[in-house]
Amino acid sequence: MKCQEGGLKMAIADKIHGFIDQASWIRRMFEDGLRMKQEFGADRVYDFSLGNPNIEPPDLFRRVLRDVVDEEIPGRHAYMANAGYPETRAAVAAHVGAEQGVPLTAEHVVMTCGAGAALNVVLKTLLNPGEKVLVPVPYFAEYRFYIDNAGGVLCPVETAADHALDPGTIGRALDLNPEVKAVLINSPNNPTGKVYPSASLAELIRLMNDKSREWGREVYLVSDEPYREIVYDGVKTPPVLSAYPDSIVVNSYSKSLSLPGERIGYIAASPELRPLKELLDGMILCNRILGFVNAPALMQRVIARLQGARVDVAAYQRKRDLLCDGLTAAGYAVSRPEGAFYLFPKTPIPDDVAFVRLLQSKRILAVPGVGFGRPGHMRIAYCVADRTITDALEGFGEALREAQGG
């Protein structure tokens, strides 16, 4: 029997065709950088576009990796339970539980293919079509696509001038959007480097508790924490799981251990999450049916022995200070980020895309703030060689003067 014919459009789905045009500025600038490096030489292009860690993993990682590879373990490349190896989940639970101040067991942890997969799994599990996720602006550009993947709607909420959470704005957004199912935060933040302090989280949680009582249902707090351990000047990233019962943390080892290409991360659920078993069962199922199946077997065995290890954060702090001091001397208005490895200053002209193109003429690659929902800014990823920073400062200064008509 022949199916009813409909008018065929283009080969690619309409939605994806539209998304290509909106696709991440980060990748777009990174790809421009590859082209420019071929044209001018890699050492003459100053690429601050991608948050790709340039610090090597700790020596301990190499030793553990060699040990794991050399071990004779039957079926070590076989499928395992979709949630991951029990021993890896237990190791992660012990570390995260101590870090977050809650009693976690292996049953509260699902191993994933990085934090991106973890977020897709959590959102797919939580969202019905049309339900909303409240996200403070600016935000990681891919959030829009992750939420859409799950049939949800991203509901942006403005932050204060210093990128801190604004309780008044959040409260109004919740009042106007009863379809909000979850709030998604990212601290330390990409692109701003802002760390939301305990007082700000407490105010957010108060608002969420009020709405949960008013609406007669849970409002979930999802905390995306790949930069949790990359903080400076004595700043600490406050725990979420002990602060709010209906909370879920997603994390990865891409930044803390400089392993972005290995795609290894996890979901950790509060032991008070409601309904706990149903949500965990849903996340384990979604890990499979979204096509991830399970986190990489080899990396699961490796990171089980690396809990608490991290890269040299002092090296990123040195790069931060080098960049901030240099840009300040050149005439930019900058504030030092508290964490992550991004600077998010205002552009000297309102059109951030035009200014980023001006920087590109100086062979400097940054990402316009419009890609993060905050026009008039630019993101500079300083996870680069120190020399890349120092050699780019002259071009930053020239672009500023040209933009100001000097």
pLDDT tens string 58-80: 999 999 999 999 999 888 899 99
**Phi-psi category of 102—alpha, beta or left, where left has phi over 0 and alpha has psi -120 to 50?**
beta
| pLDDT tens, residue by residue, 165-209 | 999 999 999 999 999 999 999 999 999 999 999 999 999 999 999
Name the residue among 207, 199, 130 with its Cα closest to residue 174. Answer: 207
> What is the average pLDDT score of the chain?
95
3-state secondary structure string, the chain?
A: CCCCCCCCCCCCCHHHHHHHHHCCHHHHHHHHHHHHHHHHCHHHCEECCCCCCCCCCCHHHHHHHHHHHHCCCCCCCCCCCCCCCHHHHHHHHHHHHHHHCCCCCHHHEEEECHHHHHHHHHHHHHCCCCCEEEEECCCCCCHHHHHHHCCCEEEEECCCCCCCCCHHHHHHHHHHCCCEEEEEEECCCCCCCCCCCHHHHHHHHHHHHHHHHHHCCCCEEEEECCCCCCECCCCCCCCCCCCCCCEEEEEECCCCCCCHHHCCEEEEECCCCCCHHHHHHHHHHHHHHCCCCCCCHHHHHHHCCCCCCCCCHHHHHHHHHHHHHHHHHHCCCCCCCCECCEECCECCCCCHHHHHHHHHCCCEECEEHHHHCCCCEEEEECCCCHHHHHHHHHHHHHHHHHHCCC
- For residues 174 and 155, give the distance between their C-alpha atoms in angstroms, rounded to a whole number: 10
Q: Residue 33 CB: number of other CB atoms within 10 A?
A: 21
| pLDDT tens, residue by residue, 235-273 | 999 999 999 999 999 999 999 999 999 999 999 999 999
Q: Are 99 and 239 in contact (CB under 8 A)?
A: yes
Residue ranges per domain, the chain?
14-57+311-403, 66-303
Q: What pLDDT is recorded for position 4?
A: 56
Q: Residue 28: which pLDDT band, with cuts at 50, 70 and 90?
A: confident
Q: What pLDDT is recorded for position 27?
A: 74
For residue 218, the number of C-alpha atoms closer than 13 Å in the C-beta half-sphere is 16
Q: What pLDDT is recorded for position 88?
A: 98
Q: Residue 17: which pLDDT band, with cuts at 50, 70 and 90?
A: confident
- For residues 345 and 26, give the distance between their C-alpha atoms in angstroms, rounded to a whole number: 16
Residue 7: pLDDT above 80?
Answer: no
The residue count for the chain: 406
Q: Are 110 and 294 in contact (CB under 8 A)?
A: no
Q: Are 262 and 300 in contact (CB under 8 A)?
A: no
Q: Are 293 and 81 in contact (CB under 8 A)?
A: no
What CATH number does the domain located at 66-303 have? 3.40.640.10
Topology of the domain covering 14-57+311-403: Aspartate Aminotransferase, domain 1 (3.90.1150)
| pLDDT tens, residue by residue, 211-233 | 999 999 999 999 999 999 999 99
- CA dist 129 → 2, 177, 392 (Å): 31, 15, 46
Q: Are 268 and 108 in contact (CB under 8 A)?
A: yes
Instruction: Report residue 130 CA to chain centroid gap.
Output: 23
- CA dist 151 → 77, 176, 247, 292 (Å): 34, 20, 21, 18
| pLDDT tens, residue by residue, 362-388 | 999 999 999 999 999 999 999 999 999
Token pair 């659920």: residue: 269
